Structure 1
Amino acid sequence: MTAIESLIEGYRAFRTGTYRQNEERYRALAAKTQKPKALIIACCDSRADPAMVFSADPGELFVVRNVANLVPPYEPDTHYHGTSAAIEFGVTGLDIADVIVMGHARCGGIEALYQSGLGNPPKGDFVAGWMSLVQDVADDLRKTHAHLDKDAMLRQMEQRAVLRSLEMLRTFPFIREREADGRLRLHGWFYGIGSGVLSVYDPAQVRFVDVADKA
């Protein structure tokens, strides 16, 4: 079975199963404006699907996905800004109160960033430029954590990239204003693909804390 055939079969199973069992709910969702509970900026990695990780139903999450879950700085110019446009719509258009940057283990974008530091930049026209958003993060870690092995360094880069994206969110005026007056909350989360463990950044402890440990 080809990939396309598999997807069509999956759709048919959805149509006759989940959709049919919840048809009234789906029709109700389509009849009104979406009101998602949270905006999640996640990686486009096929193994880290927020809806699956959080057992979310349709309409609950407004998800923005890109390579390495990065947030670019606020740059209202004539260039194309897909991630920024989605953030703007989610916050100012849908009035979402919780914005989450969700990083994950074994991120291909971070791996490309790591390899670039070894003189092996990624092929193609776009990945290297996009990952330059956190180039200084990688450079700083190589200086301050030179003792770490590859896996430990990658984990540091993955989690520091989440924190950098939180910093970049605060360059958006509508984010700063809403966070300052309490209408908006920012969160940094990290998901272990292999372990299944979710960690949340705790500013008081200046580290990511496993959700299981907080229960």
Structure 2
Amino acid sequence: MTVRPLPDYLVRRYLGWKATVYAGNRPWYRRLAEEGQRPRAMIVACCDSRVHVASIFGADSGEFFIHRNIANLIPPFAPSGDHHGTSAAVEYAVRELRVAHVIVMGHSQCGGVKGCYDMCSGHAPELLEATSFVGRWMDILRPGYEALPPGDDAERVQALEKLSVKVSLDNLLTFPFVRAAVEDERLTLHGLWNDIGDGTLEAWDEVRGEFVAI
């Protein structure tokens, strides 16, 4: 038997949520179910378990359309006919849900970004294998690695974390329907970087060409 029942601790947590959070907000959950979702923003964040997007913004159910992947990356527009989970999520958010904002949020100590750094610097040959899903996904960030300034490894890895956000923002604009929505002022793009240790949040300032503290 390969699929087993939930661990007891998760069952207890669910029952606790159902008896408290859900019970206290039953009309809201039923309204969401009956009327559908109308999120104002899409957030593309990392899969990292330490990044809790809803908590950072104090968001309730129905507020954000959230997509998570390794290193919060958005690939360039490539209608190849292959499976494109992230591109599909962007398309659905912009075309169907008509969100007003798309936010890309990176973070400190990102394992995916560190893997890309190690791969591109020749220290993770296993990620260069054609069979490495992580390695091929991190190829999206190669332009960021190639643009890194000189410095020690720690500084360059953190710079690459922030460049993962910038690369994704640039790639978003290669999607014709995203660019059209931005040009028509129906959509705005935002880039954030979160330090998970001290809780700070920085935003990409296009005019200054750098991340600035919020």
Q: What is the TM-score of this pair, normalised by structure 1?
A: 0.91
Distance 2:26 2:203 in 1: 35
Using the aligned pairs only, state the percent identity. 40
- Among 97, 106, 110, the alignment partner of 1:107 is 110
Distance 2:154 2:123 in 1: 18
User: In structure 2, the residue corresponding to 1:186 is in which secondary structure?
Assistant: strand
Tell me which residue corresponds to 1:125: 132
Question: For structure 1, which segment, 117-126 or 172-181, has the greater mean C-alpha deviation from structure 2 after superposition?
Answer: 117-126
Alignment: residue pair count: 205
Distance 2:10 2:40 in 1: 28
- The answer to whether residue 30 in structure 2 is matched with residue 23 in structure 1 is no
Structure 2 alignment gaps of length 5 or more: 1-5
- The answer to whether residue 193 in structure 2 is matched with residue 190 in structure 1 is yes
User: In structure 2, the residue corresponding to 1:71 is in which secondary structure?
Assistant: coil
Query: What's the C-alpha RMSD, in Å, of the aligned pairs?
Result: 1.3
Q: 1:32-88 CA distances to partner (integer Å, 9 max, x unpaired)?
A: 120001000110111002111111000000001100000011111210000000100
Q: 1:95-134 CA distances to partner (integer Å, 9 max, x unpaired)?
A: 1010001011111100101111132245562000000011
- Superposed, which structure 2 residues align to 1:52-131 within 5 Å? 52-116=55-119, 117-122=121-126, 125-131=132-138
Moved over 6 A (4+): none
> How far off is 1:154 after superposition?
1.1
- The answer to whether residue 53 in structure 2 is matched with residue 50 in structure 1 is yes
Residues 24 and 122 (structure 1), Cα distance of their counterparts in 2 relative to 1, 3 Å cut: farther
Residues 90 and 120 (structure 1), Cα distance of their counterparts in 2 relative to 1, 3 Å cut: same
Structure 1 alignment gaps of length 5 or more: none
Query: Could you tell me whether the CA contact under 8 Å between 1:113 and 1:121 is conserved in 2?
Result: no
